[in-house]
Structure 1
Amino acid sequence: MSLTVQAPARLSWLHRHPLLAFFAWFFTVGQAFALAPHFVHTGLPDQVWIIGASLVGLLLPNLVITRLVDGPDALKRMVRSFVDWRHGPRWYLLAVLVVPVVATALAYLFLGVPADVPLSTLAGVIVVQFALNMFPNNWAEEGTWSGFIQARIQKRHGAAWGAVITAQLFTLQHISLVLGGPLMMGVLLMVFLSVMAIGYRFLTGYLWNRTGSLLLAGLVHATANTVATGSGFGDGGVLRHLYPGSMLATMIHLVAAMLVGLAILLLTRGRLGLRRTT
């Protein structure tokens, strides 16, 4: 009898503060993985540790807290949303093509005619980099940021402000990527990302609110990385090959996502597809 009474008491704090519990784990254990290459030399590519941060720091607490706070049915819904593919072609066009097309157009506008790279090489880059982005990393990463974090924040603050708040937390996740360089450059890059991430989270929030598919959210993240920075393995994404040596080419997908997200915000009048509830 005492166990029946005490178990809910031990979980009461978690029920009241699921996001706080999540970030207590993510910004300690999760970031320990991401920061490990700066302190431990194992010979492994840095991206291996980033994948560890996504799986152990993001996906694991997402599933555990969802189960403990919302129950087994909520966990089943969460898992199903990761493989929810039954949506019309327009959603796949939005998830897969819009940001890469806008990013490529911006690169052509600001950087001019790209280098002459064989189509077979570009096709190989797309296939390999997309696979390395999506399956070990961005699927789990975006499934947590969209389906757990942003979904909870927008319940309290609304869709638009939920995206803005989530964008700042999302930016902090990437602090390991700027360590080791000049301090001022790192600060400027983090500020830039914190602004650009707002539009990106408008886009992912809209997809989540309208479809409930974390597969589509993962596709947005993976294709955006594929067109620019790449997966962290190999020589980078498509624009890195087309504009070798250009820093703008590795970051222009962020500008593209910002523009697409702002357009969605305006078209949905700030609702981002979130339906009104009584």
Structure 2
Amino acid sequence: MNRKQLDPDSSPQAAFGARLRSAREERGWTQEELAKRLGYSSTHLSSVETGRKPPTLRLARSSDEVFGTGDQFVRAYYKVRNGGLLEGFPQFVEREAEAAEIRLYEVGVVPGLLQTEEYATELARGFVRRGAITSKQADERVALIAERQAALVRTPAPLVFAALDESCLRRPVGAPAVMRAQLDRLLEFAELPNTMLQVAPFSMGAHRPFDLPLYILTLHDRSLLSYAESAQRGQLERDNVFVVPLLTAYHQLQAEALSQAESVAMISELRKGIP
């Protein structure tokens, strides 16, 4: 019987397949036996194990359930799905899609939940030009943004509080038409019944509590988690000892920032000045 040797270091897809085979063989199961437990054909399972086919989220979740591995296979799936993303972000996105409240603060760029496709594409292309990600990963990033934005129109819709540093509005991305459309999108976002948009102006100076992007989620059971990024990695935090002070600081940011009416006026004025 020919047995394909697996190289888990060659790619996240190969690593997932190797993990699946290892877990199966530790339990002494054949591919046919595991396929039956997972609800897939043995042919499909073989293709995933050998890296010929990528795993699906359903397969990853079923694998964690069958093997009792918590969320190990789900985490491995997101490494396949979003290889160009920072650590922790794929797991954050999964919880974001089910959050009751979303609070975000962004510096320098419009946050993904509020980006137009053209704006997101320009940012992704910039990463490709710098050699940070591949063209395929750039396309995946843009597609993921569209998936995340679907959370804004689900039923029931989450409450979304967006605080943008003034630099998000003034940094040009792409051609003038791209920025005009992006500012229009922000104005549309502010009109939604489940959103609040505020600008943290440069004049806040030292009163601005954050220097890096921050996201805080309130889940339906009222539990909290946060996600923050540095240049090299993301940090997903679930411990209230660390998250609650961030939530307090976010409320302080909202108190110091421009009101939504003032923020909309600033965006409208900037929109008029784009040639």
Normalised to the residue count of structure 1, the TM-score between the two structures is 0.24
Normalised to the residue count of structure 2, the TM-score between the two structures is 0.24
Higher-Rg member (1/2): 2
Normalized per residue, which structure has more strand? 2
Higher relative contact order at CA 8 Å, sep ≥6: structure 1 or structure 2? Answer: 1
